[in-house]
Each structure stands twice: as C-alpha cells, then as structure tokens.
Structure 1
Amino acid sequence: MFSEPDDPAVVDRMRAAHAVACAALGAAPGPLAAGGTREAWGWRGRTLGRPATGPYGPGWLRVVHSSVERAGGKLWTGPEDAERLVPRHVPRPRLHLVREWAEGDDVYRAELYDYVADGAVSAAPVLGEAPRLTAAWWSGLRTAIGGLSTVRTERTAVRQAYLDRAMPRYLDFLGRPVPTVPPAWSTAHGDLHWANLAGPHLSILDWEGWGTAPAGYDAALLYAYSLAVPETAERVRRELSDILASEAGRFAELVVITELLQSAERGDNRELVPALRQRAGEVSGPGG
C-alpha cells in the first residue's frame, strides 16, 4: 500500500470513481475504522480500495484507473484470471463482481471482493518490524507458493527479455558476468511482499501481476522485502529454505535484486539498497 497521493485532484477523482463503483455494484461504503474510513491507495493513486457492504455482505471494493490507451492487458485482467484459474486452496479473497466504465480519456475498473478481516502484515511492502506469525501461517504460505507454482497459465510476470537487458546493467558492480537465463520457470504471484499478505490468518492479496517467473521468485521477493528486519529475513530463509537454497532460488534472488535496484533509481525503497548489494555478492559468490 502507498500513501494518499499528493495531488488533491487525483484524490478527488478516485474517491468520486469509488462512489460511482459503489452505485454500479449495489454496494455502500463500509463502516468506519478507528480514526476514519480505511483507504488503501495504490502507486501514485492508480488504485483505491475501501471497505464496502454489498450483495455478498461485507466486502472490499477496489477501483483501478487507466488511460484509454493503456487499459487492458496483464495488470488489468489479473484478478479475474486468478479467480478463474488459481485453485481455491491458495488463500485469497474471492472476487465476486467486476464493472468497467469510461469517462472521457479515463477508464475505470471496479472489483468487489470478500472482506479480509485480518489486515495486511505490514502497511508497506518493506517490513518495518518483526511480525508475530504462527507456524500454521508459515506452513500455509509454503503450501500456497507450492500450489501456485504448478498452475498453468499464459500470463507472464517476468520476461526473459527483461532479464537479458537489466541483469547485466544493475549487477555490474559485482565485477563478474552473471547468468540471465533461469534454471526453471514456474507460476508466481509476482508481488509477494508484506503489504500483500494478511495475518494472523493467511490470505494473499492483490493478484494484478501474477504469471510465470523464474522458479523461486515469490520466496526471493519476500526475503528481499524482509532485509530491513534481520530476524524476519532469517525466518523467511528458514521457512522457505527448500526454495531459496536451491540453484533456482539463488538465481531468483538475483532477479529480484535487479528489479529492486532499478526501482530504487526511481526513489522506491532506497533504504534496501546496501543490503541488496551485499546480498547480491553473497548469492553470486562461490557457494552462493
């Protein structure tokens, strides 16, 4: 989740769109949380989610915005594809209703989900403090990652062309060539960070970008977003050791490090850069 956009025009436009979505789906804004209505903003105000009460009872209503020329594609259809293709034993809120509409050059998509009573483990993707999660939660996460990895799909979360272009550039500080072809591919959530995981009862949120990726990608991403809290980073490595200790897992770590170093250039999660660079050296060195 991200903070409310700085541009008040974006805030007003998205709140107005959310009201339109409520009317279109026969829903009403949900009850107030402590301190006011709970809002979950996406990157630069691209999405806005809020509790809602609709025809299926308590729910979560999320509105996505796009320009006309960029509407459609992988991110646009990800939640619907997940509802249709990902088995129910992978825990996530069910998607009940979808509506789309256009206003001039703007296109909106409304998605009504089951309400997840347990909040996200973290308010931000990068973990700030060690969460208290049960052994059952970790076991469920391992099962979910494993079950998702076998789902057959034509969706793509990470492309080989990106690896060929970006890995040599962002890992050049290692001073040695790095491979760019993964040992294996599998299906991944694609954005498995702490703001997309609910607890203490496990639920995986935000299925926009799921698809095929280097095997081990989800585990590697969660580990990278844990590096600011060494206690939890170690727990991730221990709980997902069968993935992260493998050749594929080590390669997936380099992929994730590449992506996060690139996003840090744009100002995202710069606090992780020293730990990411250190980890890249450890993963790519002798013994990995």
Structure 2
Amino acid sequence: MYSPPPDPDTELRVRARHARAAEALDVRVESGGEFWGWAGSTLGAPARTTTGEAVWLRLASTPEDKAVGRRSGCADPFGALDGRRPALLGVHDAFDDGTAYQAELSVRVDEPVLSGDPALQHGLRLPDSWWNDLAGTLAKVTAVDKDCVAVRQQYMEWAIPEFVGIPAPVVSHWTAAHADVRWANLTDPLRLLDWEAWGRAPEGFDAAMLYAYSLHQPDMPPV
C-alpha cells in the first residue's frame, strides 16, 4: 500500500472520481481502510451495497490513449477461478480530460493481504498447499486465449536496458497474465486481488514478478 499522492490536486481528483463511481454503482463507501496505488494511480476502499453486502470499490486511472489501446473489446474472461479471485459485481468506466477511469466493484475479501508493501519485507511461512493453489491459479490464467495486452515488447526494449543494463530478450511465447502478482495483492487462504492490469505478457511473467518482489527474503521458495 502506498501513501496518498503528494500532489493535493491529484488526490482530490481521484477521490472525486471514486465517489462518482460509488454513486454510479449504487454503493456507500465506508470510512477507513482505503488503499492507494503508486502515485495515485488506484484507490480502493471498503463499501456496502444498499442491501448491506460488504464489497470493495477500486478505481484505476490511466491516460486515455493507453487505456483505449489496451482494453478495447477486452471482456473479462476469468470468472472466480475456483474462489481464488473475488467475484466481480460491476464495472463503471468514465473518461475526462484525457484520463480514463475504471471502477471495479467486487466482493470484499475478509483476509488481510500478506504484506502492506508490494515487496516482502518480513519472513513469511506458507504451507505447500498455498503454493500449489497459486501455481494452479496462475496456470489457469495462462490458458486464457485473449489479445488484451499487459506488457509490450517495445516497453521491454526500453525498460530492461534502462533499469537492468542489458539488452531486452525477444519474447517467443506470450500468454495471458495477471501482471501484478505481488505480496500486497495476495492473501492466505489464497485470494489474488487487483485484476485491472491483466493481459498478454511473456511466459512466466507472473512468477518472475513475485520472485522479484521476494528478493529481500531469500528463503522464500520460487513459484
């Protein structure tokens, strides 16, 4: 979890859009327990429906040109993944001043996330069954045949030399991926949260991301 964005105008804009999404989806946001994404890119908060059902409302924002290119015609293909994904109850899209907003309303997960930080900063013992559940869930994700994009070869050709100092490999096999598998998006029992980034990525991308977020804890097993 990140702090609210340092720019007060960004914070006010995102909060206002989150409130509009709550109104559009007919839920009441509860105080406390909100989660911010990096630089205000997302805002999630607990809410309740008119019938009292506990839900979670998460708003993601991105430049409109990138959102259209990535999400046009991309229906959600995953479902509940045997209960490993919180059931999606509704989606609300809005566009304003060059920014695209997508709010997802889902069933609220009672279990706390395994880390408040995306990277694991403390020791963590998980049973073999948890790792088996994670591997099985990610395998089902990769089996989905969709053209939506999470990671592009062009991005890799910029990011890998910029941050790692080596040439980017040419990817020969692409599969569907959650594309944001980090410890702040995982619970025990297993629930995999925050699905708005899913799309095609290099094979093994999800496992590699979680491994990178585990490097501070070298005793963690690979996925």
The TM-score, its normalising length taken from structure 1, stands at 0.67
Larger Rg: 1
The answer to whether the 8 Å contact 1:150/1:187 transfers is: yes
Is 1:156 equivalent to 2:144 in the alignment? Answer: no
Taking the aligned partners of 1:68 and 1:150, their CA distance within structure 2 comes to: 29
The CA RMSD over aligned residues, in Å, is 2.7
Q: Tell me which residue corresponds to 1:6.
A: 6
Gaps of 5+ in 1: 241-288
**Structure 1 residue 17: deviation in Å?**
2.4
Give distance in 1, aligned partners of 2:56 and 2:47: 5
Query: 1:216 and 1:149 mapped to 2: Cα distance?
Result: 9
For residues 207-228 of structure 1, give each alpha carbon's deviation from its aligned partner in whole angstroms, at most 9, with x where no partner exists: 1222222221111111111001
Is 1:99 the counterpart of 2:101? The answer is no
SS at match of 2:117: coil
Check 1:179–1:49 CA distance in 2 against 1; reply closer, same or farther (3 A cut). Answer: closer
SS of the residue corresponding to residue 157 of structure 1 reads coil
Unpaired stretches in structure 2, ≥5 consecutive residues: none
Deviation at 1:117, TM superposition (A): 0.9
| Aligned-partner Cα distance in 1 for 2:92–2:25 | 8
Shift of 1:169: 5.5
Quote how far apart the aligned CAs of 1:89 are.
2.4
Partner of 2:118: 125
Q: Provide the C-alpha distance between the structure 2 equivalents of 1:138 and 1:5, rounded to a whole number of angstroms.
A: 34
The letter of the residue matching 2:110 is A
Alpha-carbon distance in structure 1 between the residues aligned to 2:9 and 2:148: 34
CA gap 1:221/1:24 in 2 versus in 1, 3 angstroms = same
Secondary structure (helix, strand or coil) at the match of 1:48 reads strand
CA change 1:215–1:110 in 2 (3 A) is: closer
Distance in 2 (CA, whole Å) between partners of 1:146 and 1:213 is 14
Question: Percent identity among equivalent residues?
Answer: 38
| Equivalent of 2:170 in 173, 181, 184 | 181
Q: Distance in 1 between matches of 2:191 and 2:162?
A: 35
1:153 to 1:26, Cα distance in 2 relative to 1, 3 A? same
| 1:98 and 1:112 in contact (8 A); partners too | yes
Higher RCO (Cα < 8 Å, 6 or more apart): 2
**Residues 55 and 85 (structure 1), Cα distance of their counterparts in 2 relative to 1, 3 Å cut:** farther
Q: Secondary structure at the match of 2:219?
A: helix
The number of aligned residues is: 221
Q: Which residue is equivalent to 1:226? A: 214
Q: Within 5 Å, give how 1:59-78 maps onto structure 2.
A: 59-66=55-62, 71-74=67-70
Report the alpha carbon displacement of residue 165 of structure 1 after superposing the two structures with TM: 4.8
- Secondary structure of the residue aligned to 2:176 is strand
Do the aligned partners of 1:63 and 1:108 also contact (CA within 8 Å) in 2? yes
Distance 1:161 1:154, change over 3 A: same
Which runs of structure 2 are paired with 1:186-197 in the superposition (5 Å)? 186-197=175-186
Q: Which of 191, 198, 204 does residue 210 from structure 1 map onto? A: 198
Alignment-mate amino acid for residue 230 of structure 1: P
Letter in 2 for 1:148: V
2:15 counterpart SS class: helix
Describe the SS at the equivalent of 1:137.
Answer: helix
Contact 1:77 1:208 in 2 (8 A): no
Letter in 2 for 1:204: L
